[in-house]
Amino acid sequence: MNKICKALLKVFVIAFLANAALFAVFFFDLDGKLLFNVVEPFLKKHYDDMDRKDTLKTPYGIDEFPKYDYNS
Summarize pLDDT for 29-62 with one digit per residue, the tens.
999 999 999 999 999 998 888 888 887 887 777 6
* Exposed / middle / buried, residue 70 (Cβ in 10 Å: 0-12, 13-18, 19+): exposed
Domain interval for residue 22 = 2-49
Number of separate domains in the chain: 1
- Report pLDDT for 57: 83
Q: Let me know if residue 56 belongs to a domain.
A: no
This prediction's pTM: 0.55
Q: Let me know if residue 17 belongs to a domain.
A: yes
Q: Let me know if residue 31 belongs to a domain.
A: yes
Asked whether the beta carbons of 59 and 53 are under 8 A apart, the reply is no
Q: What is the mean pLDDT of the chain?
A: 88
Q: Let me know if residue 33 belongs to a domain.
A: yes
